[in-house]
């Protein structure tokens, strides 16, 4: 390969065809894969493959759906079905559409070391993980989803590379920022044009070549860039300029910032929505009583924090947190409700527990049912974690497929992480081994439950989503910021009103095990866990009032 004046190495080889293998050879003779490989012939250490991106024949058009209709279903391809493949997942899409889901969100599918893992330790961001299938198998999954009217988002990781199989530091050390580390490894030097183009090009690649309808950018608080504009801004501007169709860019960010999600005349400029951990954390403390770790920030007045999150977006909007006393967040009440993605479970808060328990293993059934109603009938965008729709009891554990010293380091790191938790055995003897095949197999959905004791929960979820579609979604388009108002929040209950574009949505909830009367509503009751006039534990009432009540 020949080096040009800008430092790029190039070589032209005629008459190559799709499927041809190639490697980069370093000056010392070491062979490494292409860091932008579209497909590997095997693992992350071996040859890359030439791919024809135009070989797949697309059959379906992009669905005509607005973000206001979004009901997100997060899934892990490997654990979603017994087979753990794109093809097997495609066979389940009809069930999700029938449920009322409108968006599926795939956990990362970029290639990582080994066969099994969550995907957040990817090292080849352009290559599809081969254990799930081929690039065209992924295209067929997106195509089938579009045929059912489902949008498809992809989770992408631009904040670090995984610990095994990343060779960039061997021949391009300037790709990394030697002044900073992330919690997961070396920080990336986004201020260098080739580096930022690598990631912006990756976003375009997934959206263009695979027809994803949007992306979820993981942990953007670790995507730190001193450029102007910063890479997160340039990425959003570029994809929205170059791809002339509706796109939905969502983020995970523990800073509770709003500057990337602001609207201009009601129009999304950069990012569409942000994951709302505050909603989850307050709800979790209320229903489980757990106050360890990051839940400590929600131990005091969790009902008030939940009510504020429902009404205004974030619970922490610049206040000092209880755990470390550091101010977190910015005012969020000027954001429209659909700028926030709420959840009561997701891969992180479930899988990052020592034993991967789902909420229904930690909280009373009545409490889980109450949260389900609040999640699916609030004007925020709801996210369902796979299996939640039928009350899955299988855990979702942290699993990897490393070997040798790295496997030992991951195993010991998990034990240290949970050593300070009261519920965890100090010697870690019972902690599931992340590298054991059994840990992965335990995390797969048990679809037999859907046909049995999970059927009632599935039908209730479907009914709630039908109510959402009928009564909530039509009022979300045109609803600006400032829609929510806390009517009441005490030590056991919350009452929140939203003045939406078309009517008033009222939520009343007793989130405690003690029956109590709820604040009155003025609209028509569309949902109640029990008769409105009869105070009960974990009671939720939702009503709608046509027009402006102010």
Residues 266 and 289 sit within 8 Å (Cβ to Cβ): no
Active site residues: 218, 252
Residues 509 and 374 sit within 8 Å (Cβ to Cβ): yes
Residues 403 and 44 sit within 8 Å (Cβ to Cβ): no
Residues 359 and 349 sit within 8 Å (Cβ to Cβ): no
Residues 319 and 343 sit within 8 Å (Cβ to Cβ): no
| Dihedral sign of CA atoms 161, 166, 170, 171 in order | negative
Residues 235 and 202 sit within 8 Å (Cβ to Cβ): no
d(CA 172, CA 283): 45
What are the beta bridge partners of residue 263? 268
Residues 6+ apart with CB under 8 A from 74: 105, 107, 343, 346, 347, 383, 384, 385, 386
d(CA 125, CA 299): 39
Query: Exposed (0-12), middle (13-18) or buried (19+): which is 378, by Cβ within 10 Å?
Result: buried
Residue among 444, 388, 433 at smallest CA distance from 411: 433
3-class state of residue 111 by DSSP: strand
For 440-509, the DSSP string reads: HHHTS--GGGTTTTTHHHHHHHHHHHHHIIIIIGGGTTT--SS-EEEEEE-SSEEEEEEEETTEEEEEEE
Pairing between strand 273-275 and 248-251?
parallel
Residues 6+ apart with CB under 8 A from 365: none
């Amino acid at each position: 390969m020949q080096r040009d004046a800008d430092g790029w190495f190039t070589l032209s080889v005629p008459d190559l065809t799709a499927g041809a293998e190639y490697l980069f050879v370093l000056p010392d003779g070491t062979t490494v894969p292409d860091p932008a490989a579209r497909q590997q012939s095997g693992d992350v250490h071996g040859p890359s493959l030439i791919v024809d991106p135009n070989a797949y024949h697309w059959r379906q058009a992009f669905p005509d759906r607005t973000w206001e209709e979004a009901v997100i279903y997060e899934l892990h391809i490997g654990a979603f079905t017994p087979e753990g493949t794109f093809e097997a997942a495609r066979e389940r899409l009809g069930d999700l559409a029938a449920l009322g889901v409108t968006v599926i969100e795939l956990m990362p599918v970029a290639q990582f070391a080994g066969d099994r893992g969550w995907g957040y330790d990817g090292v080849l961001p352009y290559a599809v993980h081969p254990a799930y299938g081929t690039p065209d198998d992924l295209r067929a999954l997106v195509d089938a989803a579009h045929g059912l009217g489902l949008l498809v988002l992809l989770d992408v990781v631009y904040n670090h590379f995984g610990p095994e199989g990343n060779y960039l530091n061997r021949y391009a050390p300037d790709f990394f920022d030697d002044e900073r580390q992330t919690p997961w490894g070396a920080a990336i030097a986004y201020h260098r044009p080739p580096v930022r183009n690598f990631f912006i090009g990756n976003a375009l690649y997934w959206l263009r070549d695979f027809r994803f309808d949007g992306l979820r950018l993981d942990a953007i608080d670790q995507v730190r860039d001193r450029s102007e504009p910063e890479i997160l801004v340039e990425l959003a501007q570029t994809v929205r300029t170059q791809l002339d169709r509706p796109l939905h860019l969502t983020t995970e960010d523990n800073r509770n910032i709003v500057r990337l999600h602001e609207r201009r005349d009601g129009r999304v400029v950069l990012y569409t929505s942000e994951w709302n951990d505050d909603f989850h954390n307050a709800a979790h403390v209320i229903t489980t009583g757990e106050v360890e770790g990051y839940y400590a920030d929600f131990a005091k007045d969790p009902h008030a924090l939940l009510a504020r999150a429902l009404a205004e977006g974030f619970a922490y909007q610049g206040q000092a947190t209880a755990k470390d006393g550091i101010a977190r967040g910015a005012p969020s009440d000027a954001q429209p409700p659909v700028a926030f993605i709420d959840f009561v479970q997701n891969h992180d808060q479930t899988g990052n527990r020592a034993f991967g328990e789902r909420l229904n293993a930690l909280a009373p059934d009545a409490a889980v049912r109450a949260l389900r109603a609040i999640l699916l009938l609030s004007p925020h965008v709801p996210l369902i974690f796979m299996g939640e729709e039928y009350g899955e009891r299988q855990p979702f554990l942290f699993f990897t497929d490393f070997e040798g010293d790295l496997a030992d380091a991951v195993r010991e790191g998990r034990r240290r992480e949970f050593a300070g938790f009261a519920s965890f055995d100090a010697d870690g003897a019972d902690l599931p081994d992340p590298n054991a095949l059994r840990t992965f197999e335990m995390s797969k959905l048990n679809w037999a439950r859907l046909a049995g004791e999970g059927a009632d929960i599935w039908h209730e979820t479907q009914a709630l989503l039908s109510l959402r579609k009928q009564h909530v979604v039509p009022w979300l388009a045109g609803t600006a910021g400032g829609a929510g108002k806390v009517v009441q929040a005490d030590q056991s209950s919350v009452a929140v009103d939203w003045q939406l574009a078309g009517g008033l949505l009222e939520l009343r909830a007793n989130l405690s095990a003690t029956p109590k009367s709820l604040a009155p509503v003025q609209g028509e009751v569309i949902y109640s866990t029990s008769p409105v006039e009869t105070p009960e534990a974990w009671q939720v009432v939702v009503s709608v009032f046509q027009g402006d009540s102010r």
